[in-house]
Structure 1
Amino acid sequence: MKAQPKKIKLRIKVGDEVTVIAGDSKGKTGTVLSVDAVKNRAIVKDVNLVTKHIKPTAATANAAAQQGDIVKKEASIHISNLALIDPKSGKATRVGRKLDEKGKLQRFSKKTGDIIK
């Protein structure tokens, strides 16, 4: 029986504004659309675009799928290649976690020390 990979707590969440710090899309920024915590990967809007070929089908109502098409879509990118953009300074920052007054973990920017919503 194969062991399940461990899901770890990530410092990047859906809706965060991030910049790519390594790879082919280095320097691009975008919003996180989805996060896969098991594979440590995220999909970022308009970053790491790949070309997908859609096969023609006869039984669908969608006109593009009926003819077949070539579509650009976002591919996943590893979390280690992303850096969160600090809302205050607009630059890339590292993320820390600390307890607030209620005992709940909050994310904060290591650059400015502000809480990240």
Structure 2
Amino acid sequence: MSAAKIKKGDNVVVRSGKDKGRSGTVLQVMPKEGKIVVQGVNVATRHRKPSQVNPQGGIERREAPMAISKVGLADPKTGKATRVRFEDKDGKKVRVAVKSGETIDG
């Protein structure tokens, strides 16, 4: 299995779709499904009927999973979307932003 280019806690920028240009923090990564959950992006609304668990009912908003291919890692320098490559620094494999050459984790 190859190393993950986007991990939980990373800042990402949405490259396509209805939320294009928006950015947020990764809450969850689902590599087998090829999906990602980003805070404040792709928010789905559900209208809930009152129940014993939730007697008030109402509108529930939460982030829905989206395709991981729609997001790009935010460059640490510029904040714009960038691709990721891996380099070996001091015997450790680290992620590097392609646009700026900045080390992401390390």
Q: Provide the TM-score with structure 1 as the length reference.
A: 0.82
CA RMSD of aligned residues (A): 1.5
Count of residue pairs brought into register by the alignment: 105
Q: Quick check: which one's strand share is greater?
A: 2
1:1-117 matches, within 5 Å, as 9-58=3-52, 60=53, 65-102=54-91, 104-117=92-105
Gaps of 5+ in 2: none
CA distance in 2, matches of 1:50, 1:24: 12
Q: Provide the TM-score with structure 2 as the length reference.
A: 0.89
**CA displacement, residues 71-99 of structure 1 (integer Å, 9 cap, x when unaligned):** 11111111100011111122211100112
- Kindly tell me: are residues 56 and 80 of structure 1, through their superposed partners in 2, closer, same or farther at Cα, counting changes over 3 Å? same
Gaps of 5+ in 1: 1-6
Structure 1 position 15, deviation (Å) = 1.0
Structure 1 position 8, deviation (Å) = 5.2
In our comparison, the structure showing a higher alpha carbon Rg is 1
Q: Quick check: which one's helix share is greater?
A: 1
8 Å CA contact 1:8–1:37 kept in 2: the answer is no
8 Å CA contact 1:42–1:77 kept in 2: the answer is yes
Deviates more, 1:73-82 or 1:49-58: 49-58
Q: How much identity, in percent, do the aligned residues show? A: 41
Letter of the structure 2 residue corresponding to residue 16 of structure 1: D
